[in-house]
Structure 1
Amino acid sequence: MTGLAQSPPSSAPDPVGVEQRAQTLDAALRTASPAEVIAAALREIGRDKLALVSSFGTESAALLKVMADVDPAIPVVFLDTGWLFDETLRYRDSLTELLGLSDVRSIKPLDADLDRDDAARELWFSDPDRCCLIRKVEPLKRALAPFDGWINGRKRFQGGARADIPVVEADGKRLKFNPFANVTPNDIAAIYATAKLPPHPLLAAGFLSVGCMPCTSRAEAGEDDARAGRWRGRGKTECGIHTIKTS
C-alpha cells in the first residue's frame, strides 16, 4: 500500500496534531482492507499505545479475528457493565482462547459511582443515558488513559450516526480507527465462514445486536436493522462511547 506516512509513534499527542494526522491517515486508508488499517494503526501508534475496544457482541468475532491475524497481543478493552448477558461473558472467554488473544482487559464501573447514582440498580429504566455514562463511557475513559489510539468495530451499514464514519478520525487527543467502516454484512459473514468462527449464542435466539440485558430485546418480525432491539422505544441509538470524546 502506498501513500501512508511512516511516522514514529507519538508519546505526547496534542488535539491539533491528532486532527491533522487523522485526516492524513483517513485519506491514505480510505479503501484499505481492515487488516491494512489495523497494521497501519500499529505502525502509527505502536502496540503499547494502541487498544481495540470490543463488546464481544454478535459481530465482534470478525474484527477480533482480523486483529489477531495482525497481532494477537494488541490490548483488547471489554466493558463489563454489570448488566451483560451471561452468554456474552462466556463468549468473551471462548473467543479469547480460540483467537489466542493475550491481553484482554475487562473494565467495570466504579462501585462508588454505582452506589452514588444507581443504588437501586434501576437507572437503566429512569435515565438510560446516565446509566450508560457511569457503566460504559466513564469506564472507557479510564481504560483508554494509557493509550494514544483505539480501534473499534463500527460499520457504515449500521446506519444512523454511523452511516458516514471515516476510516480514521480524531477523538480528542487520540486517533480512532474504524477498520470495518467500509465492510458489508456479506464481508463479515465471509470472515466468520472462512475462519469457522462461532456465532454469539444469542444470535440464534433472535438478537441481532447484543448490549446490556435490560436494554436489549429480540428483533421483531420483519425487522432487519443491524441494531434492532437496542433501547427499544427510547429514541436512543448510542450508548455514548462513540458520541462523547474519550479525552
Structure 2
Amino acid sequence: MPLDINALLTARARQLNADLADAPAIRVLEHALGDAKLGNIAMVSSFGADSVVLLHLLSQIDRHLPVLFLETAMLFPETLAYQQTVAETLGLTDVRVIRPDPSDLFVHDSTGELHLADTDACCAIRKVKPLELALQGFDGWITGRKRIHGGDRADLALFEVDGAAIKINPLAAWSGADLVAHMDAHDLPRHPLVAKGFSSIGCAPCTTSTLPGEAPRAGRWRSSDKVECGIHFDGARIWPAPRPRS
C-alpha cells in the first residue's frame, strides 16, 4: 500500500495545531525549528509592512535560518533598502534573494507591462515559479500571514499542509495592535512606506496606499478581484506558464 504523504502531513498539522493552539508565537516558531519530524525549514519574507516582527522573533532563535526574499524586479525601492536595513539590524546571516528567471521575463514580459494585461501571469513568472524552485530543498516554510488579513486567511491555522510540505504561520492570531506593540517594545525599524499609508506592500505597480478603515490588503490589486499572488494556494501546484506576448 503506497504511503499517503498528504494524509500523514495533515494528521501531523492537526496534532500540532491542537498542541500549540494557545502557545505564544515564539513558542510556535521554536517548535517548528526544533521538531525533527518537520524536516528542513525556511522562512519566506516579503520584508513588507510588518514583516520585521516575525523576522525579529526568528533572530532570537536562529539568525542563520534561510530567509527567502522574492525580489520580483518590480518592488518599491524602499522595500529593497528596507530589506538590507532589517537584515543588518537583526543580524540575519542567510537572506537569499530569489529572482525571476531572466529567460521567463524575456519571453513573457520583455516590456515589463504584463501586469497591465494579466496580473496572474505576471505573478506566476515573478513570484510563484521562483519561490517553488527555491523551496525545493525544504520540507516546510514559515510565513507571516495573519487572520486579520481577511478573505481566505480569516480562518488561518498555525500549521497547514501545502502540497508535500508543512506551512507554519506563527503570527496567525496576531492583531494589528499586537504587531505595533511588538515593534514599539523592541524599537524595530519600520518600512518607510507605512508612514505614507501603505498597510500591505507588494510590487509597486499593483500596490496602493489604504484609507483609514480599509482592510489591510485593500491596496493590493485594487479595483480587481485578485486577492493573492498565488504562492499561498494550498495543494500541489503546477506553475501556470503564460503564453508569450505577441
TM-score by length of 2: 0.91
Tell which deviates more after alignment, 38-47 or 72-81. 38-47
Q: Residues 45-91 of structure 1, C-alpha deviation per residue, up to 9 Å, x if partnerless? A: 48981101000000100110011111111110000000001100000
Moved over 2 A (4+): 12-16, 45-48, 244-247
1:192 to 183, 187, 191: 183
* Corresponding residue of 1:8: none
Tell me: CA distance 1:45–1:90, structure 2 relative to 1, closer, same or farther (3 Å): farther
Q: d(CA) in 2 for partners of 1:43 and 1:204?
A: 36
Note if contact 1:154-1:180 (Cα within 8 Å) is conserved in structure 2.
Answer: yes
Aligned to 1:5: none
Instruction: Measure the CA separation in 2 of the matches of 1:176 and 1:45.
Output: 15
Name the SS for the 1:145 alignment partner. helix
**Could you say what the CA RMSD is over the residues aligned between the two structures, in angstroms?**
1.8
2:229 corresponding residue in structure 1: 239
Question: Do the aligned residues in 1 keep the contact of 2:38 with 2:140 (CA within 8 Å)?
Answer: no
State which of 29, 35, 41 in structure 1 corresponds to 2:20: 29
Q: Is residue 155 from structure 1 mapped to residue 177 from structure 2 by the alignment?
A: no
* Aligned 1:101-140 pairs, distance under 5 A: 101-140=92-131
Which whole-Å CA distance do the structure 1 matches of 2:37 and 2:140 have between them? 9
Give the Å deviation of 1:245.
3.9
Is the CA contact 1:156–1:162 (under 8 Å) kept in the aligned structure 2? yes
1:183, distance to aligned residue in structure 2 (A): 0.9
TM-score scaled by length of structure 1:
0.90
Q: How many residues align?
A: 235
Does the 8 Å contact 1:72/1:101 carry over to 2?
yes
Mapped partners of 1:72, 1:48: distance in 2: 18
Instruction: Report percent identity of matched pairs.
Output: 45
Match of 1:226 among 208, 216, 235: 216
